[in-house]
A and B are shown apart, each in its own frame.
Chain A
Amino acid sequence: MWKFFHQWASPPHFYRLAKVLIPWLAVPGLLLIAYGTYAGLFLASPDYQQGDAFRIIYVHVPSAYLSMMAYVFMAVGGGIGLIWRLKLAHAVGAAAAPLGAAFTFLALLTGSIWGRPMWGTWWEWGDPRLTSELILLFLYFGYMALRSSIDDTAKADKASAVLALVGVINVVIVHFSVVWWSSLHQGQTLFKKGGPGMDADMLYPLLAMILGFTFVFGALLARRLRTEVLYRERRTRWVRELVLTPGGGR
């Protein structure tokens, strides 16, 4: 089992595997997003309180979920990299950080746009969900700045892994902020006790969007990971052979 895992995670094997995986993740992801967008915008009934403004959740919720998931990837990758010294694990963190930052930015922006007509304000500093999500964005920036400030890849991997592991506490805070504190942000809807608090015609497009965003995130991560692996392995024999092969392995 352990041998299989190491073989799977070996850079040359993963580099080729990721190329095959990308279309298998991207195509279903885009199809799910297309369905979720159409059904969310045109088929779902307007919310009885928020009217059509509620449709923003179809991009806001998946972005917010990915903003946390990408950070968990970084932390798990960092932990595995520190403990088992798996080369690919640190690369996962490095590749996931810009994507996580992009989706966190998107979650903050769409949340702010939704807040203007619903709360009457673009931003509320006292709100724990908003503030902890903003801290998450700064953690991503800090992680990327730390990596780029250290020339030695091994040292950058260790330092950024520690930051990812410490910062994962904030992901827990983001997730439970609406439960622990009084917040303007609405409480848990999908995972609350007694099942999701939404009608089926609203719920299914949202689930399709969450799944679609996850697949697209997987495709983007695989693409970024290939680059990260290639860069880290640039002085190895397999990369030399790959580049010198007619047709190459781009």
Chain B
Amino acid sequence: MDALAMGNYGAYVWSCFALTLIVIVFSDWRARVRHNQVYRDIEVRIKALEEQE
């Protein structure tokens, strides 16, 4: 419990670490989503061109 309380600064300390985790996880998730989106768009366009040819 002492570790959670952090000398009465628990809310400040833990919220900072939680926010950091959120920012890093969100940045990674957003990068993966964007990559898959771009790859899929290119794939669809190229396959459509292949079929036309």
Contacts and interface: CB of A to CB of B under 8 A. Distances in A.
Contacts of B46: 239-240, 243-244
A208 B3 CA distance: 21
B3 A63 contact: no
Contacts of B12: 53, 56, 113-114, 116-117
A116 B11 CA distance: 11
Interface of B: 3, 6-10, 12-13, 15-17, 19-20, 23-24, 26-28, 30-32, 34-36, 38-39, 42-43, 45-47, 50
B9 A117 contact: yes
Contacts of B7: 46, 51-53
A105 interface: yes
Interface string A58-70: 1110010000000
B35 A226 contact: yes
A60 B34 contact: no
A183 interface: no
Given A55-B13, A223-B31, 14 more contacts: A51-B8, A52-B13, A53-B7, A55-B6, A59-B19, A60-B16, A102-B27, A106-B23, A113-B15, A114-B16, A223-B28, A226-B35, A243-B43, A250-B36
